[in-house]
Amino acid sequence: MKFYKIVFLLILQVIFIPVLCWAWSGKVVGVDEGDTIEVMRDGKGEKIRLYGIDCPEIKQDFGQRAKEFTSEYVFGKIVEVEPVATDHYGRTVALVYFNNNSLNEAIIKSGFAWAYKKYSVKPRCAEWITFELEARIKKLGLWSVPNPTPPWVFRHKNKGSGSSK
């Protein structure tokens, strides 16, 4: 019977330990754009692309304001990073939390990002479309101007200009 308890405990460890270790914490040491930050991990800076959102490019209207919003929210602070994937630039794509508040959501609610419907497939992202709509109705951030250009359209028009998204 003792053997079965040990085997059971080992199986639990194999199942739950990786889940508990998946998210990690680190200090934000850089903000490249509204939706791209750098977080210290194991003594090195790791680029993090925020999952499910798309902020205006720096050279776009509100691109600098989106970067400033993100900087004010998390620069120099300890955040929790919940990785989702790695993009084709090698960046970790993640949900990021500060004081249990989602940075991804905060940027959408402030009007500095689109909810990237194509990539926002996690169940917790379902209400992001509503947050974007609320920001549009309130004319917050980039929604204060009529018909802002989505960053994916801007990047397509400016291909080859060194955009990193």
Active site amino acids: 49, 57, 91
Over the Cα atoms of the chain, what is R_g? 18
Q: Which of 60, 82, 55 is nearest to 71 (CA)?
A: 55
The number of beta carbons lying within 10 Å of the beta carbon of residue 32 is 16
Question: From the centroid of its chain, how far is CA 96?
Answer: 6
